[in-house]
């Protein structure tokens, strides 16, 4: 990431719109020019300049993770520029900041423009706009900040913008909480902790109950019932197969006997096949008639046996239908009454009539009352049957059929069935009578025995078929109920698997978090020693640094093997240690970022100032914005820095004008500007 331009509008001591070129331009010389100096007296706007970069990128998060929206809005409003004119203070009602930077993603350089403007306090107090190479990103406006946070995690703020306050918090924080927070957020370890907390919450809310075991037992019980029923069905089918095979044998034997009987001759033998065919035909017709009777019994026939109740139901449905129609008419009349009344009042009906105005009004009122009463009459009748008009008409038709056509049809079918059964009985009795011829009687006895066996066999087969149907119905019912339990079990099982996976994930995550923390801290300690030794006096070189992965307590060991306590450092030594820690954190972060550092040399002696200039500044970043007071930026310091300086901005607060004046080649002020709201 490389900063290209910063724009500040009506923010703090900056009146109007100010544009600052932040690019570093190479110059002749051996040392790289990576430094931009922003200098000025206290109150001239250095801190405002410094803070606007973080505000542009991080918004409310630039002030801390625990800052509320109200606190953020209060802070922003307090920073709106106050213009002093003729001893009067005029506070601006809007402000804006804009940062343009170059960012390399997947090997491609992109120019990103982030504009953040504020106006009157309301739901749209802040307006955030983003452009990538002049185009809007493919996200919703409301997700712009999330997109920025993904590009630059909030933990990078501590190594992007660094001032004396940040340094003191890192070096002298009680219980090292600040150091712990910075390291975890910078290295992404806080995300692991957050995930661990989320898993703990999930386990607390989804870990109870034995529903899974209960449902599993239910499925097993249902399966046991299904298996028993399936075994019974198999036994019945096996018995059916035996009966069918036996029926084939008996049918073949009967055919042989029939042929033998036919060969012996006689009137009985000649008529027998014809009568048997007629009996078969009668069986089919009887079965069809019985099926029709069953269909009528399952339909409208029962209503025929309750004519009084059916009549009452028909009357009630008719009454409810009339009431429903009147209700609709009443609602329609209620809508039209006022229209009719107005039409009557305006109508020429009363012209040339010997009716005065008061009487005509009375007549109109009476008509309104009649219309209203007529519409309301019976419209409030209680509806017992919530049926549509089509459904009511269909039920009434069924009742009519049940009282008229259905009884006659049932009677006709019953008579026909009785006649055919009688005919079949007569034919069967004829067949059962033995012929008079002595020669045919033995054959007939055999035929009768075979037919009796076949009848008994078929009767048993029919009973078995009915039993199989009953068993299959029970099996289907058990399968449906089991499927319902399985569906419940599936959902519970998914949660059960999630719960088990969450438990295992939490254990793995805790081990991973511990190992990752130890690894990252070990790398940080190594870099801390290297960085500290580069900018520290040779008499104070370190040989080792240790940071406890649980408490984040820091232990420094010098070349003599003695422990060096951070709490015993002087203010200058603390600043050296803070710079070294910042340097080390930036190295292991994996991000190539510019560095904005405020008041870094105030407490450094000449030796350490030299190390800061010669060792720290050239290597810490390819782009460094150094903020310093005029006192800090002495002639000697400025002389040492000059080879690395690309641009310099000097800030001067003008008491008469009431705002800051900027001196610098890369600065441009626009007086008649529009607000920073790119279209």
List pLDDT tens digits, range 125-136.
Answer: 889 999 999 999
pLDDT of 678 over the 60 cut: no
- Quick check: is 369 in a domain? yes
- Quick check: is 11 in a domain? yes
Per-residue pLDDT band at 505 (split at 50, 70, 90): confident
Q: CA 643, 647, 648 angle in degrees (round to 5)? A: 100
pLDDT of residue 661: 93
- Quick check: is 297 in a domain? no
- Quick check: is 560 in a domain? no
- Quick check: is 565 in a domain? no
* Residue range 140-158: mean pLDDT, rounded: 83
Q: Which residues of 158-179 are buried (b: 16+ CB within 10 A; e: fewer)?
A: bbbbbbbebbebbbeeeebebb
CA dihedral of residues 426, 432, 433, 434 (deg, nearest 10): 160
SS3 call for 406: helix
- Quick check: is 3 in a domain? yes
Number of domains into which the chain is organized: 2
Per-residue pLDDT band at 677 (split at 50, 70, 90): very low
pLDDT of residue 676: 47
Between 618 and 184, the higher pLDDT residue:
618
pLDDT of residue 673: 46
pLDDT of 609 over the 60 cut: yes
Residues composing the chain: 679
Q: Which residues of 493-510 are buried (b: 16+ CB within 10 A; e: fewer)?
A: eeebeebeebeebbeebe
State which of 373, 403, 433 marks the end of a domain.
403
Instruction: Quote the CA–CA distance of 133 and 424 in Å, as a whole number.
Output: 98
Between 239 and 28, the higher pLDDT residue:
239
- Percent of the chain surpassing pLDDT 70: 84
Between 190 and 147, the higher pLDDT residue:
147
First to last CA, the chain: 25
Q: Which tens digit of pLDDT belongs to each residue from 256-309?
A: 887 777 666 556 666 777 888 888 899 899 999 988 888 888 888 888 888 888
Q: Residue 297, class by beta-carbon neighbours within 10 Å (0-12 exposed, 13-18 middle, 19+ buried)?
A: exposed
pLDDT of 479 over the 60 cut: yes
Instruction: Quote the CA–CA distance of 28 and 515 in Å, as a whole number.
Output: 48
**What is the average pLDDT score of the chain?**
82
Helix runs in 404-440, H state only:
405-432
State which of 403, 418, 449 marks the end of a domain.
403
pLDDT of 52 over the 90 cut: yes
Structural domain boundaries, residue 143 = 1-26+41-154+628-634+646-679
- Quick check: is 523 in a domain? no
Per-residue pLDDT band at 380 (split at 50, 70, 90): low
**What is the CATH number for 668?**
3.40.50.300
Widest Cα–Cα separation across the chain: 153
Backbone angles phi, psi at 193, to 5 degrees: -65, -40
- Quick check: is 187 in a domain? no
* Residue range 537-549: mean pLDDT, rounded: 81
Cβ atoms within 10 Å, residue 410: 17
State which of 372, 403, 434 marks the end of a domain.
403
pLDDT of residue 675: 45
Q: Taking a C-beta distance cutoff of 8 angstroms, is the pair 25, 33 a contact?
A: yes
* Residue range 435-461: mean pLDDT, rounded: 80
**8-state DSSP, 135:** B
Q: CA 267, 273, 277 angle in degrees (round to 5)? A: 140
Per-residue pLDDT band at 197 (split at 50, 70, 90): confident
């Amino acid at each position: 990431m490389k900063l290209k331009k910063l724009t500040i509008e009506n923010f703090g001591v900056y009146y109007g719109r100010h544009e600052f070129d932040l690019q570093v331009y190479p110059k002749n010389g051996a040392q790289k020019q990576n430094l931009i100096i922003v200098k000025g007296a206290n109150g001239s706007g250095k801190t405002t300049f410094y803070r606007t970069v973080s505000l542009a990128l991080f918004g409310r998060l630039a002030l801390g993770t625990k800052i509320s929206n109200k606190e953020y809005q209060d802070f922003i409003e307090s920073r709106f520029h106050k213009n002093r004119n003729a001893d009067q203070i005029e506070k601006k009602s809007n402000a804006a900041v804009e940062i343009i930077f170059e960012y390399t993603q997947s090997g491609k350089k992109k120019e990103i423009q982030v504009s953040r403007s504020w106006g009157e306090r309301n739901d749209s107090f802040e307006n955030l706009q983003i452009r990538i190479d002049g185009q809007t990103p493919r996200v919703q406006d409301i997700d712009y900040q999330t997109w920025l946070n993904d590009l630059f995690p909030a933990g990078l703020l501590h190594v992007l913008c660094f001032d004396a306050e940040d340094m003191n918090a890192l070096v002298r924080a009680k219980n090292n909480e600040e150091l712990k927070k910075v390291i975890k957020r910078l290295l992404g370890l806080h995300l692991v902790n957050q995930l661990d907390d989320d898993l703990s919450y999930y386990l607390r809310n989804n870990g109870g109950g034995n529903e899974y075991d209960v449902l599993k037992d239910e499925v097993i019980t249902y399966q046991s019932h299904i298996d028993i029923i399936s075994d019974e069905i198999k036994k019945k089918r096996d018995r059916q197969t035996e009966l069918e095979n036996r029926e084939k044998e008996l049918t073949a034997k009967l055919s042989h006997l029939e042929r033998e009987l036919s060969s012996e001759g006689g009137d009985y033998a000649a008529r027998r096949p014809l009568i048997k065919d007629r009996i078969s035909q009668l069986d089919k017709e009887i079965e069809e008639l019985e099926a029709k009777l069953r269909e009528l019994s399952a339909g409208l026939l029962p209503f025929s046996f309750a004519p009084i109740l059916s009549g009452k139901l028909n009357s009630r449905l008719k009454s409810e239908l009339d009431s429903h129609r009147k209700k609709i008419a009443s609602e329609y009349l209620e809508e039209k009454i006022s229209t009719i009344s107005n039409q009557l009042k305006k109508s020429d009906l009363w012209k040339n009539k010997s009716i005065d105005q008061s009487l005509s009004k009375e007549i109109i009122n009476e008509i309104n009352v009649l219309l209203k009463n007529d519409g309301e009459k019976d419209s409030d009748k209680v509806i017992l049957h919530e049926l549509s008009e089509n459904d009511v008409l269909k039920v009434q038709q069924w009742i009519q059929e049940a009282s008229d056509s259905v009884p006659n049809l049932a009677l006709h079918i019953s008579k026909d069935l009785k006649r055919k059964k009688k005919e079949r009985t007569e034919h069967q009795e004829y067949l059962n009578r033995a012929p008079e011829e002595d020669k045919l009687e033995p054959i007939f006895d055999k035929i009768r025995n075979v037919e009796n066996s076949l009848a008994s066999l078929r009767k048993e087969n029919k009973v078995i078929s009915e039993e199989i149907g009953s068993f299959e119905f029970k099996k289907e019912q058990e399968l449906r109920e089991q499927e319902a339990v399985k569906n419940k079990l599936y959902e519970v099982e998914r949660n059960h698997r999630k719960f088990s996976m969450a438990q295992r994930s939490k254990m793995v995550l805790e081990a991973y978090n511990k190992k990752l923390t130890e690894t990252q801290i070990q790398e940080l300690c190594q870099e801390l020693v290297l960085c500290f030794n580069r900018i520290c006096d040779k008499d104070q070189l370190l040989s080792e640094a240790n940071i406890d992965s649980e408490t984040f307590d820091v232990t420094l060991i010098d070349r003599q093997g003695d422990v060096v306590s951070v709490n015993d450092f002087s203010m200058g030594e603390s600043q050296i240690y803070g710079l070294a820690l910042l340097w080390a954190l930036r190295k292991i972060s994996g991000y190539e970022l510019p560095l904005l550092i405020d008041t870094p040399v105030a407490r450094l002696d000449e030796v350490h100032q030299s190390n800061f200039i010669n060792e720290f500044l050239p290597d810490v970043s390819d782009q460094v914005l150094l903020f310093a007071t005029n006192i800090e930026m002495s002639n000697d310091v400025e002389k040492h820095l000059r080879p690395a300086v690309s641009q310099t901005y000097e800030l001067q607060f003008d008491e008469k004008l009431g705002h800051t004046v900027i001196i610098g080649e890369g600065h441009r002020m626009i007086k008649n500007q529009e607000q920073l709201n790119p279209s």
